[in-house]
Amino acid sequence: MKLTTDPKVDTVFDNYPDHVKEKMLALRKLVIETAEETKVISELHETLKWGEPSFVTKIGSTLRMDWKAKNPNQYALYFQCTSRLVSTFKLIYKDHFHFEGNRAIVFSMDQKIPTSVLKNCIKASLTYHKVKNLMTLGI
């Protein structure tokens, strides 16, 4: 898999407070790792959308992540709100995550993230256009 990264993305990560940077870099690593493990993904583009680190594939829906100072005890993965992604995640993983509407999975700073479950959500987003017609998005 080919990864391309806009240099401005590193600047955003560098500007997070130290305790947040650790969480955000772990989330970033998980997204990249998931893309590498997903055979149908040949390219992953890491860029900024709305000033937030974002991941784009040719076959997927944009996946964003961010921490906001107005909610200092949480950070999130953001999905296209018009997709079936978050509604499907709520159906399958309602006991694993806290959701914000149809747009985000929200994590508290002290939460232990169930990485194998989250990887399923990340994969569904990065391959959305291939799985959107499947009942549970291939999960």
Provide the pLDDT confidence category of residue 75 given band limits of 50, 70 and 90: very high
Tokens 């709305």 locate to 50
pLDDT at 1: 95
Provide the pLDDT confidence category of residue 65 given band limits of 50, 70 and 90: very high
User: Domain 2-131 is in which class?
Assistant: alpha beta
pTM above 0.95, yes or no: yes
- Chain centroid to CA 40: 18
**Cα dihedral 86, 83, 121, 16 in deg (nearest 10):** -80
Range 39-47 average pLDDT: 98
Domain ranges for the chain: 2-131
Provide the pLDDT confidence category of residue 33 given band limits of 50, 70 and 90: very high
